[in-house]
Chains A and B, each alone.
Chain A
Amino acid sequence: MSGTLAVEGGQPTAAQRLPVRWIRRVAFYLPAIVVFVVTIAAWEILVNNIKIRGFPLPAPSQIIDALGENWGAGRWPLQTSATATLIEAFGGLAIGTTAGVIVALLTARFVTARELLLPLAIGASAVPIIAFAPLMNNWFGVLNPLSKMMIVAVLVFFPVLVNVTRGLTQVEPAALELMRSYAASDWAVLRLVRIPNALPYFFTALKVGTTLSLIGAIVGEYFGGTSSVLGQVIVASAGALRFDVTWAAIILAAATGIAMYLAIVVVERLVIPWHASMRGGGT
């Protein structure tokens, strides 16, 4: 006497949902786009029509010109500078993330390590680590990109450590009981439960890390570096009162940051499509 069950659920097909999704997406971003365009336009008009004496603000059009003129070479080689800074930021991000994940795995595995290291890590993440930048320049050589990478690595290390440890340890207790009932080894629990559980935390840390990595690289460069890095271009052009170039460099730094962030988001979508934050549609 088996009770036949009505099939619950049932969803519209992807084809039916696609146009609705796109309309929703455009509707969602439209206000932001409008505000952005209006702000830029207002900036352009204000700077061109009201001459604010002694207030060095170039118009958006001047900044774009500066970006074009200095792109390839010259006194302020923007493209090579941006590339160099990106390499520093990315290298530091890679070093800091790797170190953070390794230490997180150790702290998750060994309770004593966790009790010893985690309070220190949480404390250290509240310290303005960027203050160590001049020291790093000294230790690893002011012209060596490694000095900036190490600043970035130290900045990125702590949020990665704290977040990934949280992801590895904050597992549903019933999931651990389930694995215990299977007589699963610690290694199997790590591989099948803890690591997948930590992935969303890892990506959160990585997104914070990308922002930190550019801040670290550029501020590190303020304290010295080769002439073709964004931080030095910003400092030198501002000193030479070429604010159009300064702004161009800042915008390039911003664009680099956004590009890195988006790259992480794309990877996140590919790796954890099952996570609640990745599921499209609905509310």
Chain B
Amino acid sequence: MNQAEVIAKIQGIFDNLFLEPVTLTPAISAKDVPEWDSLTHISLVVTVEKAFGVRFRVGEVETTRNIGEFADLIIKRQLEP
């Protein structure tokens, strides 16, 4: 999967999670989306881990600054054996 494909799949998760539609771009982050609070964030991470079959390591999700970096992290963890 490349970044665009991963973001497209995250878009599906967002559509389910948020009431108001959000169109994802690599640059978008929590501060751009009013509904994206810390609660939604926890929900998002758990859902993403299930949907992509990945497990993030301690502390690494909070180092990603936007959806693009988050998608890259998902790809990195997917490539692990």
Partners in one complex: no
Interface of A toward B, CB cutoff 8 Å: none
Interface of B toward A, CB cutoff 8 Å: none
